Amino acid sequence: MFKKYFSLVTILCLAISPLSAQDDLLDELNEETIQETKFELPAFKAMKIGNLQSTKVADKGDLYLYVSHRFGTLQNGIETFFGLDEANTKIQLAYGLWEGVQLSIGRESLNQTYSSALKVRLAKQSDQMPFNLVAYGTANINTQISKTGFPALKFGDRMSYATQLLVSRRFSDRFSFLVAPSYIRQNLQNLNLTRASNHNQLAMGLGGRLKISKRMSINLDYAYNFNRDSRSLYNDPLTIGVDIETGGHVFQLLFSNAQSTNEPGFLSNAEGNWENGNIFFGFNIVRVF
């Protein structure tokens, strides 16, 4: 009788053991599935570092109003009231169509330029991904160009474009950095200023943000244009600014040697020069609805 019960217990133990092991394996698989990717906080608070685009993209359903204002050059002093008489203003609306996809339209008073842009997030910094990756493209129409100055003017001559790959990383709670390889296409150029025809241009943008308090940071962006002729009257754009967060607003104060805020404009046609004080004071105001 004892042998009979002993055999029965042995059989039950052997049957239960693989079931228990299977449950343990299922539990481990479930734990791995439940573990979620931990995303880092955004590298930048606003959609622009100064002039250069950041990797921030509007959330789905969010509407952003972006007002960019650049006064005239400080170089002329009191003659133009330090640039107040020669201001350039751009008003832009950006909307999150889907998660990670943003569409925007805008108008800049400089050259009466209309613009549209698409911004798409490709990857987000996390414990599994070291960088933020965003693709950006914009098309611009210069409506101020006149057939008086260009008798053979066609509609396509008014167009300019820019495409960028934005790569950023938040290195710490205080510091973020971005690189932006860029392609610019200008269908019409003033050879008196550019000195040579270079409709297709490549540039490398660099930008950073250093947080100095809970609601304030110092920002800087720069772009090197590889195709600019050495005789050109234009320069590489350099912008230095301060971000101030106030509830639903981000207020950016900045100084730049480029008056245009459109990518083809400031990446190719930065008319100012920091060395001789030919720079422009301005601000960006961002409001989300």
Is the Cα torsion angle 249, 253, 256, 259 positive or negative in sign?
positive
Give residue for tokens 């590298």: 43
State the amino acid at position 140 in one-letter form. Answer: N
Q: Quote the tokens at residue 88.
A: 């350039």
Distances (CA, A) of 228 to 169, 171, 196, 250: 29, 32, 8, 34
Q: Look up residue 191 and give its two tokens.
A: 């050879």
pTM assigned to the model: 0.84
The one-letter amino acid code at 24 reads D
Fold of the domain spanning 63-288: Porin (2.40.160)
C-alpha span between 166 and 102 (Å, rounded): 14
Query: For residue 87, what pLDDT is reported?
Result: 84
pLDDT in tens, the chain (289 residues): 544 444 544 444 444 444 444 555 556 555 555 557 888 888 998 999 999 999 999 999 999 999 999 988 877 667 666 567 678 899 999 999 999 999 999 999 989 999 999 999 999 999 999 999 999 999 999 999 877 677 788 999 999 999 999 999 999 999 999 999 999 999 999 889 999 999 999 999 999 999 999 899 999 999 999 999 999 999 999 999 999 988 767 899 999 999 999 999 999 999 999 998 899 999 999 988 8
Given this model, what pLDDT does residue 114 score?
Answer: 97
CB-count burial class (<10 Å; 0-12, 13-18, 19+) for 191:
exposed
Q: What is the dihedral of CA 137, 143, 147, 149, to 10 degrees?
A: -80
- Identify whether the C-beta of residue 222 lies closer than 8 Å to the C-beta of residue 240: no
Place of tokens 């622009």: 48
Residue located via tokens 């300019």 = 160
Is the Cβ–Cβ distance between 238 and 246 less than 8 Å? no
Question: What are the Cα distances from residue 54, in Å, to 3, 50, 128, 135, 259?
Answer: 77, 9, 21, 10, 19
Res 79: pLDDT: 65
pLDDT at residue 24 in the model: 57
Half-sphere exposure (CA, 13 Å, Cβ side) for 60?
A: 3
For residues 170 and 154, what is the distance between their CA atoms, to the nearest angstrom?
A: 45
Distance (Å, rounded) from C-alpha 239 to C-alpha 49? 9
DSSP annotation of 174: S
